[in-house]
């Protein structure tokens, strides 16, 4: 089943300081099905992270469409209202980057359990599942009730992944999630992604070491780097 159709998606950044536009990618088109794992590749600066951020709508695409078949109906992620995006993020679109922004004074266990509680699970059951997930990723049990703000990069990443993958999302966007992981956690990640694929989750992933997920990859999209077009632009006048 088709999950996502990206049509002519383009993102350009306006660099006010330089008074010009920097293109990230231009007219990307591809499709992703439920249960498919598509590897996004391309050299540094090609726009891989920007593509995932446009689909998660941390960035607003400049033009093009990203038609997403949500559980509630079809929606263009490039143009959807912020409230709809917030709902999709809570319910069915997951995103993992290399970095966790831990919330102060929330324990690792609570952070991981939270998406299950939002989905209606009891707190006790959610905390139990969160413990199992942290265990699979190899986070030391003595850290489960501690605050991740002081964790090492790899420990934070384990919490990040455990939280993002604890329940089957519909669409999962992964931006170099293995960068700071040890071998145990990389294996746990591959096992979990395998399970999620079998449950129909569509995955778009950027991996610097694609061998971490080699067996799981069904298709690829290569983003070619663009020349900076040096398009001059006039900044919009500020209202008086």
Ligand X SMILES: Nc1ncnc2c1ncn2[C@@H]1O[C@H](COP(=O)(O)OP(=O)(O)OP(=O)(O)O)[C@@H](O)[C@H]1O
Which residues are near ligand X by CB under 6 A? 13, 15, 22, 24, 42, 44-50
Task: Look at residue 22 and give the partner it binds from Mg ion, ligand X, none, a contact being a CB closer than 5 to 8 Å depending on partner kind.
Answer: ligand X
Which residue's CB is nearer to ligand X, number 22 or number 187? 22
**Positions that interact with Mg ion (CB under 5 A):** 48-49
- Residue 158 contact partner, candidates Mg ion, ligand X, none, CB within 5 to 8 A by sort of partner: none
Nearest approach in angstroms of CB 208 to ligand X is 7
Considering beta carbons, is residue 50 or 160 the nearer one to ligand X?
Answer: 50
Q: Which does 6 bind (CB under 5 to 8 A by kind): ligand X, Mg ion, none?
A: none
- Of these partners, Mg ion, ligand X, none, which one is at the site of residue 13 (CB under 5 to 8 Å by kind)? ligand X
Give least dist CB 161 to Mg ion, A.
17
Residue 45 near which of Mg ion, ligand X, none (CB within 5-8 Å, type-dependent): ligand X
Q: Which is nearer to ligand X, 48 or 57 (CB)?
A: 48
HEC assignment per residue over the chain: CEEEEEEEEEEEEEECCCCEEEEEEEEEEEEEECCCEEEEECCCCCCHHHHHHHHHCCCCCCEEEEEEEECCEEEECCCCCHHHHHHHHHHCEEEECCCCCCCCCCCHHHHHHHHHHHCCCCHHHHHHHHHHHHHHHCCCHHHCCCCHHHCCHHHHHHHHHHHHHCCCCCEEEEECCCCCCCHHHHHHHHHHHHHHHHCCCEEEEECCCHHHHHHHCCEEEECCCCCCCCEECCCCCCCC
Using the minimum distance from each CB to ligand X, give the nearer residue, 26 or 92: 26
Q: In the bound complex, which residue of the shown chain has the CB atom lying closest to Mg ion?
A: 49
């Amino acid at each position: 089943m088709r999950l996502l159709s990206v049509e002519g998606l383009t993102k350009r950044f306006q660099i006010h300081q330089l008074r010009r536009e920097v293109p990230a990618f231009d007219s990307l088109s591809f499709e992703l099905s439920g249960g498919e794992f598509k590897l996004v590749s391309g050299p540094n600066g090609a726009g891989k992270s920007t593509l995932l951020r446009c689909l998660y709508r941390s960035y607003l695409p400049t033009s093009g469409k990203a038609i997403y078949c949500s559980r509630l109906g079809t929606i263009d992620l490039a143009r959807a209202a912020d409230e709809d995006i917030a709902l999709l993020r809570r319910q069915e679109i997951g995103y993992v980057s290399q970095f966790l922004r831990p919330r102060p004074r929330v324990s690792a266990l609570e952070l991981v359990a939270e998406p299950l509680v939002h989905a209606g699970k009891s707190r006790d059951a959610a905390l139990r599942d969160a413990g199992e997930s942290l265990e699979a990723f190899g986070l030391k049990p003595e850290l489960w009730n501690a605050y991740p703000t002081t964790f090492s990069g790899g420990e934070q990443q384990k919490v990040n992944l455990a939280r993002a993958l604890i329940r089957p999302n519909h669409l999962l966007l992964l931006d170099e999630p293995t960068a700071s992981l040890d071998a145990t956690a990389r294996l746990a990640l591959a096992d979990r992604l395998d399970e999620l694929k079998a449950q129909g989750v569509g995955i778009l992933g950027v991996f610097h070491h694609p061998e971490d997920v080699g067996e799981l990859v069904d298709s690829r999209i290569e983003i070619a780097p663009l020349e900076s077009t040096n398009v001059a632009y006039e900044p919009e006048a500020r209202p008086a």
